[in-house]
Amino acid sequence: MIRLFAALPIPFDVAETLARRQSGLPGARWRPVEALHVTLAFYGDVDERRADDLVAELGRAASGGPFAITLNGVGAFGEVHRRQTLWAGVEPSGPLTALAGRCRAAAERAGIRMEHRAYRPHVTLAYLKPQTDPARIAAWMAGHNLLHSPPIRIDRFGLWSSVLSDSGSHYTLEQEFPL
């Protein structure tokens, strides 16, 4: 079994800009620059035969041509007193939503079952320890809520594997798909 997800890579210059915001919050486990991405679809644990089928189906999903996304604002997932993840938002985009839908459909055609939840594109910046002070989280978000990137050209997406460890997830690009 291999843990898989489809994602858009974040260009190095944009990732470096995000990394400069990754400070000033005790209890945050900041994601390294090379781990910053916009998830299109999370597939979870997939056996190798279905993974091969998924690669073929994702090749069919790579249509529509290049488009642009824009990062806008920051936030956190979880309840006010139990926030778990800090993120940078991605402005709504028809081409992005369509690509995420094609990546989900590729999983269905490959026989992979996925959780059904609304697509909320974002870049995970940090995972928060349970004891992280909610007031400090709110202050960090207030200090960074004006985040706004120039348009980021998207001309490819990838299928990534993820290995969980005590120091966080480690990602490997398994296949890249030009748009």
Query: Which are the contacts of 52, defined by CB distance < 8 A and separation ≥ 6?
Result: none
**pLDDT of 83:** 74
**pLDDT of 116:** 86
pTM: 0.93
What's the chain's average pLDDT?
94
- The boundaries of the domain holding residue 61 are 2-178
CATH code assigned at 117? 3.90.1140.10
In the chain, the percentage of residues whose pLDDT exceeds 70 is 98
At 20-39, the pLDDT tens digits run 999 999 999 999 999 999 99
The yes-or-no verdict on residue 81 having pLDDT over 70 is no
Identify each DSSP E strand in 47-151 by its residue range: 67-69, 71-77, 85-90, 122-128
In the chain, the percentage of residues whose pLDDT exceeds 90 is 88
CA angle at residue 100 from 137 to 155, to 5 degrees?
Answer: 95
Query: Which are the contacts of 10, defined by CB distance < 8 A and separation ≥ 6?
Result: 18, 36, 37, 38, 123, 152
**pLDDT of 80:** 61
Q: Report the candidate in 166, 160, 140 with the shortest Cα–Cα distance to residue 34.
A: 160
**pLDDT of 147:** 97
Quick check: 64 and 154 in contact, CB under 8 A?
A: no
pLDDT band per the 50, 70, 90 thresholds, residue 78: confident
Overall domain count for the chain: 1
**pLDDT of 145:** 95
Question: Average pLDDT for residues 118-147, to the nearest whole number?
Answer: 95
Question: Average pLDDT for residues 151-156, to the nearest whole number?
Answer: 97
Q: Which two tokens stand for residue 145?
A: 């809520």
